[in-house]
A and B are shown apart, each in its own frame.
Chain A
Amino acid sequence: MPMLSFLIRRLLQTIPTVLAVVLLVFVLFSVVPGSIVSTMSDDADPQVELRMKKQLGLDDPVYVRFGVYIAKLATGDFGTSFRTREPVTTMIAKRAWPTLQLIFTAMAFAIVLGVPLGFIAALRPGGLVDSAAMVVAVSGLSIAKFWLGLVLMYLFALKLGWLPSFGYGDGGLKYLLLPAVTLGVSPMALLARTTRAAVLEIMTADFVRTARSKGMSETRVVKWHVMRNALVIILTTVGLQFGALMGQAVVVEKLFSWPGIGSLLVDSVLQRDIPAVQGSILVVVLFFLAINLLIDVLYGVIDPRIRYA
């Protein structure tokens, strides 16, 4: 029961967040110069421009447009793209799966490598493994994705010939690996650092010292006390990193010709396709909120002391 009321409360809390984002994007694109008409034709008749703006509702006051948009949004209608004249939901649906593939694979790579790396480093602080792990972590955080992607392409496609250098292909793993690793290196590095710091802190906590003094083996201490407590911090980092990955995916998608929402968003901004921009941003925000809601739920599973009241 407390869990259900927690979920309802959190879902209700997302409404103002979503509305604020929608309003911000709406206002922003009402004031930035440039319009879809100017991107469509270099020499459109000014009368045609006016008629087109009228037809698209672009000559209505911002508050009227916003009201219409919100009313449609409430029925699940994201509007129609100015560019392609397709429903925005259709456009996003085509891109959603490749984006999810990319982000979840990148995050899986980050977790599988980053968390053990951080743990191992923390268990032998100051040692060779720790130093090496932290060099990897700092490098991973510092390397530009564009450059890293090119290096991976060069190495695994051109020199070794193991993987294709670009494209979506059939959506299979061999096409996914390079973009996912490129995207996953930065969160992997962050997770390694966060895990190390969390484990080091927990290792010196009173309850760990108590467990040891009770004669508990080091393996059991780490497994039952250190790991579980560190996981809460790791999960928080993972949740936040999902949001960051959605933003960083733009660069990777463009570099690898990967058909995701990021490149849709960038193209839509450049061409002033306002419905597509709003739709894409909304989906990104909803995804971020959903992931963080899931993480909040997981806190309670990992640590029963966390209550949802």
Chain B
Amino acid sequence: MFRMMAIVAGLGLALATSAEAQTPRKGGTIRMTAPYGSSFTSLDIHTTQRAQDEIYAKALHRSLYIWNSAEGKPVLELAKEDVVSGGGLVHTFKLRDDAYFHNGRKMTADDIIWSYNRIMDGTKAYPGARFVRVIEGAAAVEKGQAKEISGLKKIDDFTLEMKLTEKIDPGFYFFTALTSIYPADEAAKESFLQKPIGLGPFKFVEHVPGSRIVLERWDRFYKPGKPYADKLVVSVMGEAAARDVAFRNKEIDTSVLGPAQYVAYQADPDLKGTIVEVAEVFTRYMGMNPAFKPFADKRVRQAINYAIDTDLIINKLVKGKAYRATSWLPLTSPLYDKTMKPYPYDPAKAKQLLTEAGYPAGFEFEWTTSQNESWGLPIVAAVIPMLDKVGIKAKVKQVETAVLSEVIRSGDYQAFIYSQQSGPDPQAALKCFHSSTPQSACNYMNYKNAEFDKLIDEAGQADDAAKRGQLLQKANALLYEEAPVWFFNYNKAVMAVQPWLKGIQLNATELTHQNVEDLWIDETSPAK
């Protein structure tokens, strides 16, 4: 189903499939762009959760699992086998014995244990801790009560036992670069920050802060014949207009498109064929604080969903670069329920619900927002008159994105607008609404519903995947009914890809994150 969704979503499928049919060409330079800011945060990928940084990290590092875009799920990368025992809680990984770090040393179980212990250092706030925490004893290390994660055991150099606290698929927790495996001896040195060493298909050559990272092929990469390219250059290009010129000038091979460029590229016959798009696992929404009296009433929250002409905003303001959200789980989630219909635009119904809830004249609230063009101030500005029509007045409180995340996590708001990861693991995504999940984690609306909790708990205990799926779909439907948020949209990620770059994957977790060892360029590339 996931694959089908990606097919439907991907205009660039023809591009990808035709690439598969050709024999990959070796050599040349792939020139990618990092579009989410004016620099990379750090060369220590454990310290940064920005999507920008994972673009280069996918080339430099490897994690226990890797995201397989075609299958729409994580698959083993640094291990050849995972034997599950102990009622689904114990995973014994048979590790690869042919994975070499860029300093020529072979990876062993010690490196994985060292890396996960590092991520749980409770004085550093490594963002990957949210994933490693699922290993038994990891939280104790984070709290400073233990020095090593008790749930990790080295059986031998290439066998690792991992005991989890929950019955989950560890693939969803250990595939991002945030849990990259570092060489235990080298990574502790200060020089590692200047010249990082990883297990990825490309090794580090140069970092020009604020401009580019250059990597070259690692000849001892464990996938035979890969990577295809000799070199990879990731240029920092935060300005969309500059990327546009560089892309048209054939100086770069990939460029992320914003709403305005999306329209322009679709209208240009020369560029239309370069567009690749996918529904990413991010849900954009307006969160409502139940501690603010009107929002404690389900009818008010539903009224807001009825009062906003969401399709109009998506079509006119977001220029169609988004998919209308129904409930929480996004279009590319394996549990997305296509029979569900989004809240229709119905101001009369909204007015009726407000009257029933005791707000016939409406009410006023403060709406905290960042300036983000896709899920920030412009959207809020468009929604305000729609809410006004049913008597709800919204006062805007504008903050920086960094501040917004702090405001949300502390609950210091009446309403906010945000984009939150809602996949790829539907269980983890929905667990954010479980009452036991702290607001500072991802239960940003401090949502509490006993019926919802029960469904999530039962799904967590279910051994049968189909049963678990049904329970989670029910939970997702309950969220739709409860409307803790205004369900706005699921992000449609759009990238322009030069015709000579082959092997682009429709990665629903983040389109710019490519398994670069599968990319190759043909002889028409200016950087062949």
Contacts and interface: CB of A to CB of B under 8 A. Distances in A.
Interface of A: 33-35, 37-49, 51-52, 55, 83-86, 91, 94-95, 146, 149-150, 153-154, 157-158, 161, 164-168, 253-260, 263-264, 266-267, 270-272
B122 A166 contact: no
A165 B245 contact: yes
B49 A42 contact: yes
B246 A94 contact: no
B210 A48 contact: no
Given A40-B125, A46-B440, A85-B47, A166 B39 contact: no
Contact of A264 (B209, B238, B249): B209
24 contacts: A33-B399, A33-B403, A33-B407, A38-B405, A40-B47, A40-B127, A42-B130, A43-B130, A44-B125, A44-B129, A94-B209, A95-B209, A95-B210, A146-B241, A150-B242, A157-B245, A161-B249, A165-B249, A166-B245, A167-B212, A168-B211, A257-B242, A264-B209, A267-B37
A253 B209 CA distance: 11
Interface string B132-143: 000000000011
B444 to A, nearest CB: 9
Contacts of A259: 208-211
B402 A166 contact: no
B18 interface: no
Contacts of B211: 167-168, 257-259
A84 B43 CA distance: 7
Nearest to A40: B125
A47 B122 contact: yes
Given A40-B48, A149-B242, 19 more contacts: A33-B403, A40-B125, A40-B126, A41-B130, A42-B405, A47-B122, A47-B143, A51-B144, A52-B124, A83-B48, A84-B44, A94-B209, A157-B246, A157-B251, A158-B245, A168-B211, A255-B242, A257-B211, A263-B210
B104 to A, nearest CB: 26
B220 interface: no
A33 B406 contact: yes
A167 B124 CA distance: 33
Contacts of B237: 166, 257
A82 B194 CA distance: 15
Contacts of B242: 149-150, 153, 165-166, 255-257
B98 interface: no
Contacts of A49: 125
B348 interface: no
A255 B239 contact: yes
Given A42-B127, A254-B239, A271-B41, A165 B246 contact: yes
Contact of B42 (A34, A42, A52, A84): A84
Interface in B28-68: 37-39, 41-44, 47-49
Contacts of B407: 33
Given A46-B440, A84-B42, A259-B210, A158 B248 contact: yes
B47 A86 contact: no
Contacts of B41: 83-84, 267, 271
Interface in B135-194: 142-144, 193-194
B22 interface: no
Contacts of A267: 37-39, 41, 210
A183 to B, nearest CB: 15
B132 to A, nearest CB: 12
A189 B245 CA distance: 27
Nearest to B440: A46
A40 B238 CA distance: 20
Contacts of A146: 239, 241
A167 B214 CA distance: 13
A168 B208 contact: yes
Contacts, number: 167
A161 B440 CA distance: 51
A258 B44 contact: no
A54 B27 CA distance: 49
Nearest to A54: B123
Interface of B: 37-39, 41-44, 47-49, 122-127, 129-130, 142-144, 193-194, 208-212, 235-239, 241-242, 245-246, 248-249, 251, 399-403, 405-407, 409, 438, 440-442
A35 to B, nearest CB: 7
Contacts of B194: 86
B236 A270 contact: no
Given A48-B123, A166-B237, A86 B39 contact: no
Contacts of B241: 146, 150, 255
Contacts of A158: 245, 248-249
Given A33-B399, A166-B235, A255-B242, A41 B126 contact: yes
A60 to B, nearest CB: 16
Nearest to A150: B241
Given A41-B49, A85-B47, A150-B242, A260 B210 contact: yes
A238 B88 CA distance: 72
A271 B402 contact: yes
Contacts of A42: 49, 127, 130, 405, 409, 442
Given A41-B49, A165-B249, A254-B239, A263 B38 contact: yes
A42 B282 CA distance: 14
Contacts of A164: 251
Contacts of B249: 157-158, 161, 165
B187 to A, nearest CB: 12
B129 A45 contact: yes
Top 8 closest pairs, chain A to chain B, by CB: A259-B210, A41-B127, A43-B441, A38-B406, A259-B211, A263-B38, A34-B403, A34-B402
B33 to A, nearest CB: 9
A35 B410 CA distance: 13
Nearest to A41: B127
Which of A95, A164, A257, A266 has its CB near the most chain B CB atoms (within 10 A)?
Answer: A257
B122 A51 contact: yes
A52 B251 contact: no
A253 B212 contact: no
B42 A85 contact: yes
Contact of A257 (B235, B248, B399, B409): B235
A172 to B, nearest CB: 13
A55 B144 CA distance: 14
A38 B194 CA distance: 25
Given A44-B125, A257-B211, A38 B38 contact: no
B72 to A, nearest CB: 23
A257 B126 contact: no
Which of B211, B212, B235 has its CB near the most chain A CB atoms (within 10 A)?
Answer: B211
Contact of A153 (B193, B236, B245, B401): B245
B212 A168 contact: yes
Given A42-B405, A46-B440, A257-B212, A84 B122 contact: no
Contacts of B406: 33-35, 38
Which of B38, B212, B245 has its CB near the most chain A CB atoms (within 10 A)?
Answer: B38
Which of A85, A146, A260 has its CB near the most chain B CB atoms (within 10 A)?
Answer: A85
A157 B241 CA distance: 14
A153 B44 CA distance: 33
A164 to B, nearest CB: 6
A287 B127 CA distance: 37
B138 to A, nearest CB: 11
A166 B246 contact: yes
